[in-house]
Amino acid sequence: MTTVRNLLEIKGKDIWSVGPDATVYEALRLMADKDIGALVVMQGDQMVGIVSERDYARKIILHGKSSRDTLVREVMTSRVFTIHPDQTIEEVMELMTKKRVRHLPVTEGDQLIGVISIGDVVKDVIYHQRKVISSLEDKVYKREQP
């Protein structure tokens, strides 16, 4: 069973962040440059929120605001769900589904150590399914041999 810690070791522990006083445009530019869908919002060493493409679509575009004139603090999600590195991928999937989120910061104690996305989770599930299928195919093949 894969844990979040295992997944972070594979994908890396890069954490991309932005301050609450940055413009939404600056946040979007960083997301585009890093090819990611969300940024952790940090004020000093403290995580104060998360801002995602979904926040942009729902809180800027649909309200006719400008990303160049709107601050991240105005659109970020401040109630951030986090996960522990020893949680399983199954627990992460359950939380993402239940809370309808696509990105979860990983914290250990008071320290932010990574971010897991729904894409990371899906890749891991597909990898493990392929391993199971391959193992089952090997067993079937061995049975068919005289």
| Residue with tokens 């399914």, as numbered in its chain | 129
**What residues pair up with 49 in beta bridges, in sequence order?**
41
Q: Write down the pTM of the prediction.
A: 0.84
pLDDT tens-digit profile, the chain (146 residues): 789 999 999 988 899 999 999 999 999 999 999 999 999 999 999 999 999 999 999 999 888 899 999 999 999 999 999 999 999 999 999 999 999 999 999 999 989 999 999 999 999 888 878 888 887 877 777 766 66
Domain positions in the chain: 4-144
Query: Could you give the C-alpha distances from 97 to 8, 32, 84, 102, 105, in angstroms and in order?
Result: 20, 25, 17, 9, 15
What is the predicted pLDDT for the residue at 144? 67
The CATH class given to the 4-144 domain equals alpha beta
**3-state secondary structure at position 96:** helix
Interatomic CA distance for residues 88 and 70, integer angstroms = 37
